[in-house]
Structure 1
């Protein structure tokens, strides 16, 4: 059966989906997106993702006539129509359609599209064994706190890292790690402190990061929002990254340095278990 997608108010087979040549998301990257994980047919941390979605739209001055409840119903229908058990639900809102012009009218009608992608998120080799990440200069724009569809810098960084034999890449600016190209970077120090960048315009506020921070508070684990250098990261006891599609992902090598003994550490394993249990998933 063909995958069913949502385009401008209708559920249609993906072969029938059409987006205008003059859509500003296509012409300028003038769009906001969000991705929610689906495990065992259920969305994970969707309230956090929709809150970030709404914030990004507000920061971009893109109005959305649909309520968040209606968006949830669209997500659920996409999951049901595609019988999605494991994967993600993608949403994107562009400012709308108009002849190409850098300036836009406040009367434009935003366009919402959505689709599912089947993907195993738990029990993968990467989750079990960990991944390697390269380090690369952060060449993105200055409003990284907005989840826009302008992802060329991330695409290029990930592609270069893959060509160098790495699974992913962390970005560096002014001598400090900002975040992963599509994830939040974390390290664990020898005295068991979990470090990650504080919220600012330099990084995207991570939804999975927030969920992990909440779990750490509940468990009495030391979660500290502080920037760290690449050298601190390479000398850390453990490292991991978080995102909707990678959940809590162990990082066992950063550039040319193995982290710890080159295997996922005990605190990272504990956090993986805590996160899945909180999500109602058997670890």
Structure 2
């Protein structure tokens, strides 16, 4: 009889940090929450955030949590804040009005830069980790009336510092099947502007309503959540860089039946991902979508 195969190593424990935008209460009680990956040891870090928190990123090196505040979309009063992992020492690093409606936020570890998408601002932006040197890298339009056109709304974002590329989603109308994902270089070509960049490329289109992005640069795979209607919407999807080399790729649907999919995070070491929806649930699965678990 052959000996039993060795047990697969258990995934690292770590912690999850996530947001509750707070729209289920009249006073907009936004929160920052944390738990172990199995859902245990759940507790609130910060409550009573009435500025509609949306994107979150954790700097494990310096022990900080960063998050975006959408604010009131018509007021152009978005901001970015930071606190310790304990939820203490809250500071505003990008003050109100420096960004319109900031959405997904990520940390580029090599350059130590923050990148985010600005929805009604119709922009892709970045800044230093202390909030200084705020830059607009891409702008879909400079016309104020175009802020109402959801095809211009930048929502998700991720960065590949190895290939020097930024990826972002423009979600399009709700359930409209006009969502797109774009790619461009990290640095603007000399002589060009955020409104006129020749390196902007649409890599996936006709999506129901793409939201947050994540990137596995090791396997060369781009992941995203989609809020649109089934069969392609309310899903977690992926494409590989190999697929993108032959033109616009067809999404590989990994997980279905979400209730308006939004946030997404990869645990590459543990071969798993975590994702949430507007129904208020948090889920996990393997990176290929198997072992899908409602958290």
TM-score (norm 2): 0.27
Greater relative contact order structure (CA < 8 Å, 6+ sep)? 1
Which structure: greater helix fraction? 1
